Structure formats: structure tokens, C-alpha cells
Amino acid sequence: MPQSRRIIIDTDPGQDDAVAILLALGSAELEIVGITAVAGNVPLKLTEKNARKICELAGRPDVKVYAGAIRPLARELVTAEEVHGKTGLNGPQLPEPKMKLQDEYAVDFIVETLMSEESGTITLCALGPLTNVALALIREPKIAPRIKEIVLMGGGFFEGGNVTPTAEFNIYVDPHAADVVFKSGIPIVMMPLDVTHKALTTAKRTKAFRKLGTRVGTATADMLEFFERFDEEKYGTDGGPLHDPCVIAYLLKPKLFKGRKCNVSVETASELTMGMTVIDWWGVTKRPKNAMVMRDIDHDAFFELLLERLGRL
Ligand code: RIB
Ligand code: CA
């Protein structure tokens, strides 16, 4: 077995974040060095608690969970209880976590880890607003060349936005943080709505999780059944897009995805298009190609991978 890939998961659980964390925990190819919670889908006190609930659900109370930014860099926090429920993890009844939250501030953990671990060995998996990642880059710019890669779920272009007509939630909540990250020069793999909207949790796929007959399988089916209803009503689809697990699936099976390197620039001035990720897919500008932007996914293989790995927990 090749040496496992060392990752930090930055997250705002969120049912889809939860499934992404479970996918990582069910995959021996990955070593989770730490989980850093950020305010996003719900306030920080809930996202950090939800991250711990998911680790305990997977039988992994040893994973270190840290709390990070309580709000975006400049704008007021916008949350998404209408999608994720009041707790942020509505669906299953998960017990209050017993594992403790780490004392260290998540941003300090990210900086300290990147400065002390061998350069180029840590991948950041960003599943929520990019506030923690941007704060770490601002606090210690020396970490930028030491980060192997940032794989993030966020943005959208051909698909438009899911919070405004032009902006996706993670980028909309903290466009200034996203601007810092996309201008950092760090290798970025981007999973925008253009690809995550092709990964739908159909009823058949959700049933397959329940058929696992395990605590994780049942809880996952309960989470998806709650989470998908918002997008089903909005888009009239069978199931909702399973956004965040695309980030972890990329690390496990990159060939599931297709895209191209292009420039991504973030709108931080106009209120009309605030948080829009302007993706120069056809290369009509001279702007640097700062991200590998994914647009296609083998969604059947994606869900097969998810089922197989969650079945291991
Ligand atoms: O727009 C989808 C993204 O916003 C996902 O990461 C979801 O968890 C929410 O954070
Ligand atoms: Ca998320």
C-alpha cells in the first residue's frame, strides 16, 4: 500500500460534508491529520459539534477536531438552515459527542501543521467557506508553497449559482477568502456546481446506503433523505446534488472527474454578482490558469465508491 495521503479537512457540516468525512474515514489511502470546522451551513458552535458527531458515528473519536472562524473575513455570516436543518445535521438522531474539541484554534493548527510537517505532504480539502484557509494564508504566507494541493468544493459557472443567480454558497459566504485562495498560487482542484449537480442522490442510491444495515449506512440514508428534499423541490430532480464528497472522491479516484485548467476569478465588488466565480473556460483572457476546474463526473462509479467505502465503517 503506497504511503497514505495526508489531509486536513476544512468543513461546515452539513450532511454532504458529513458524507465526505465518512468517505475519508472509510479510505485507508487517506490519513486525516485534522478536521477544522468553519462557520457556514450553520454557526461554528454547530459545525464543530457536527464534525465530532460524525467522527464518533464512524467509531473514530481519535480524530482531532478544531474550531476555526466564527464568521467570514469581511461580510456578515450567511447560513443555510433551510437546506441542512436547524442543527446542520438534521435527519439522523446522533448522540451529543463525547470526544473533546481540541483547544487549539483551527487556523493556528493549519499554520503549525504546514510549517512543521515536510513541505508538500499535506493536502487541504475545503468543503465550506474558505475563511479558515484564507486566515491561515494571511497569518503565515510561508505556508503557501508548503501546501501540496487545495481540493475544494465551491463556485459554479455554466450551472450558475445556488444562493444567488450567479454565486454558489461556499464562495458567496466568504468571497474575500475565496479571492485570497484563488490568488495564492497554490495548486487548486475545484469542484463547482457544474460537476456536483451531476452527482445526484437518487432514491435508488439512498436506499443502497440504508441496505448496508449498519449505523453509518442508516445515518447516511437519513441524512440524504433530509438533505435532498430542498434541491428536489427547487430543481425538480430525483435526489439532490452530493457536493462535498466529490472532493474526497477526487483524491481516491481522480479519473472519475474530467475538467481543464483555467482561470477562476472571484467577484468581490458588485452586490449583483458578489461571490461569482468567473471561470475562463475558453481561455479568452490572459489571466493565469490558477485552477483545475472539474465539469464532468462518472456518477455511477462515484456512488459505487461511496457505498463500498462507507460499507467499511
Ligand atoms: O453549495 C454547496 C456547498 O455549500 C456545500 O459545501 C454545502 O455543504 C454547503 O456548504
Ligand atoms: Ca460544506
CATH topology of domain 5-310: Inosine-uridine Nucleoside N-ribohydrolase; Chain A (3.90.245)
Four-point Cα dihedral 184, 186, 191, 193, nearest 10: 10
The predicted-structure confidence for 128-181, as pLDDT tens digits, reads as follows 999 999 999 999 999 999 999 999 999 999 999 999 999 999 999 999 999 999
Strand, helix or coil at 176?
Answer: helix
What whole-number distance in Å separates Cα of residue 47 and Cα of residue 68?
A: 10
Which residue of 170, 171, 172, 195 sits with most ligand 1 atoms within 8 Å of its CB, as the best mutation to test the pocket? 170
By C-alpha distance, which of 213, 212, 209 is closest to 226? 209
Q: Which residues of 125-161 are buried (b: 16+ CB within 10 A; e: fewer)?
A: bbbbbbbbbbbbbeebeebeebbbbbbbbbbbbebeb
Per-domain residue ranges for the chain?
5-310
Residue of the CA atom closest to atom 2 of ligand 1: 169
Q: Among the atoms of ligand 1, which is closest to the Cα of residue 193?
A: 1
The predicted-structure confidence for 52-62, as pLDDT tens digits, reads as follows 999 999 999 99
Q: Which ligand is nearest to the CA of 41?
A: 1
Under 8 Å between Cβ of 201 and 228: yes
CB 156 less than 6 A from any atom of ligand 1 = no
What whole-number distance in Å separates Cα of residue 184 and Cα of residue 141?
A: 9
Tell me phi and psi for residue 308, to 5 degrees. -65, -45
Helix (H) / strand (E) element for 66: namely: strand 65-67
The predicted-structure confidence for 10-35, as pLDDT tens digits, reads as follows 999 999 999 999 999 999 999 999 99
Q: Is 243 a catalytic residue?
A: yes
pTM of the shown model: 0.98
- Give the relative orientation of helices 215-235 and 44-57 as an angle to the nearest 10 degrees: 140
For residue 69, give the C-alpha cell.
Answer: 472562524
Which residue of 89, 130, 153 sits with most ligand 1 atoms within 8 Å of its CB, as the best mutation to test the pocket? 153
Residues whose CB is less than 8 angstroms from the CB of residue 60 and which lie 6 or more positions away in sequence, other chains included: 25
CB 129 less than 6 A from any atom of ligand 1 = no
Positive/negative CA dihedral, 311, 20, 197, 201:
positive
- Measured distance between the N- and C-terminal CA atoms of the chain, rounded to whole angstroms: 19
